Amino acid sequence: MLFNSYIFIFLFMPMCILGYFALNHTGKYKLGHAFLLGMSLWFYGYFNPSYLLIIISSVCINFLFYRWMKGMQRATILQAVTENEELQNLAGSSLGRLKKCKPIMLFGVAINLGIIFYFKYMDFFIENVNTIMKMDWPLLHILLPLGISFFTFQQISFIVDTFRGEVPEYDFLTYACYVTFFPQLVAGPIVTHDELIPQLLDKSKKKFNWDNMAKGLYMFAIGMGKKVLLADVFGIAVNWGYENVATLQATNAILIAVGYCFQLYFDFSGYCDMAIGLGKMLNIDLPVNFNSPYKAVTITDFWNRWHMTLSRFFTRYVYIPLGGSRKGNIRTYINLFIVFLLSGFWHGAAWTFVLWSVLNGLFCIVTRMFKKFFDNLHPALGWMITQGFFTLSVVFFRANTIGDAISLIKQILYVDFTPIDVHILEAFKIPGLNYFWDGTALTNSLPFIYVGVFYYLALFIVLGCKNSVEKMRQFVPNIKNMLWTAILLSWSIASLSGISTFLYFNF
């Protein structure tokens, strides 16, 4: 199910909120969790009920690994107490014996990675084997389950944290609610157990809260506006551009390359805003996933602001275990490169994603090697270098093939400026805008100004405005904010002429 759909807005969301708090009001908190779990599974399996078998199996398998390790940990502690070990030696002794859990943890991680590999990379693997080995293995054409990378990484973090002795005892219902919590289920943020489960168990969060409801609706409206009124509009032009790369020429190629940066940002940050808003309505605080990355003046700062929970996952569970920055510069650069390479594969089974991640990894390494030089650059110059590099690198991220990406970049470098293509002009006739103003005359007479307004508006939002999390922290439930929320929601709902999925559903 999509956040930007009539069934979600008018049926699922009110039913979920009212049902959850009604059951909690009776004091039957377990029943409230069961209801939330059922609603989350309905949300996930709405488009394809067969997805339910995958996610339910994944939850059950990982919970069994969790219980297996917790059982060994309890037995170890009980044995230590039975042997009358001194309390000061108990922790060290137990930790030494808990190495017995390591094979279980590794097996659990391998199972999760194997599931991702099968559904996401098997056809990609077969294609490359066929190419290299001159073979003709048939493709399996496996349907990629929504959000499998997100909920699988979430469970990998849970398994590893359990091995480290950082996870307390949880029952199956609580764990299942943690994994399937619908606001962040299919496109993040990737939430750790200590961020979400204590909130699910907190009795003070079981009561309906009008302030949280107001904040949540405000965030949901902002996210909906980003998705429907901005990302989807840029997406129409971008989709046309990448299907007609050979005919773009410089003007249209620049508009398409920059337009995809705006589409990607507003689409994913819009989803995260809606997720945070939905969580807030249920009295749950989800972690921030974006912190104005287009304001970054270095590539390192950029990746500290973009998809923050994915960066955190790779830092905790890959970069630091590999040694982080503790084993010299060369090892640090290698570890950084590995993280970026894995990030590319995480985003999709295509060499375009890999090349995009390699380019960003190399630029991060160069930035780290010459840190003093980049730190001394004027902020405006640093911003132009960073954002210019990202704009060109993300061409590989979006293009259907590496050849298409190179062709688009070549057309930009040729500097062969032409009029704006009519398909791009048509894309920016926003649904619903014609109720207030018909821009046909301006479109025909001054196309650069008409299209430029949208690009400048997008640039002003990402650079000149506070991000939505900052706005939520300063939110006051007053008439102004109520009207702004109502206008954004109404305009977005009126513009739902075509339901579009979120870009990160494919990752």
Distance CA 478, CA 134 (A): 67
The dihedral region occupied by 143, where left means phi > 0, alpha psi between -120 and 50, and beta the remainder, is: beta
DSSP, res 476: -
State the Cα–Cα distance between residues 192 and 155, nearest whole angstrom. 9
CA distances from 467 to 122, 173, 219, 233, 332 (A): 39, 35, 11, 20, 32
Write down the catalytic residue from 25, 141, 347, 423: 347
Kindly state the greatest CA–CA separation across the chain. 88
Q: In sequence order, what DSSP letters do the residues of 176-190 get, joined into one string?
A: HHHHH-GGGTTT---
Phi, psi angle pair for 437, to nearest 5°:
-160, 135
Q: Are 491 and 431 in contact (CB under 8 A)?
A: no
**Euclidean distance between the first and the last CA atom of the chain, given in angstroms as a whole number:** 16
User: Is 347 a known active-site residue?
Assistant: yes
From residue 24, alpha-carbon distances to 20, 195, 208, 328 in Å are 6, 21, 9, 53
Quick check: 72 and 95 in contact, CB under 8 A? no
225 neighbors 461 (Cβ within 8 angstroms) = no
Q: What single DSSP character describes residue 26?
A: T
Beta strands in 182-296 (DSSP E): none
- SS3 of 295-323: HCCCHHHHHHHCCHHHHHHHHHHHHCCCC
Active site residues: 347
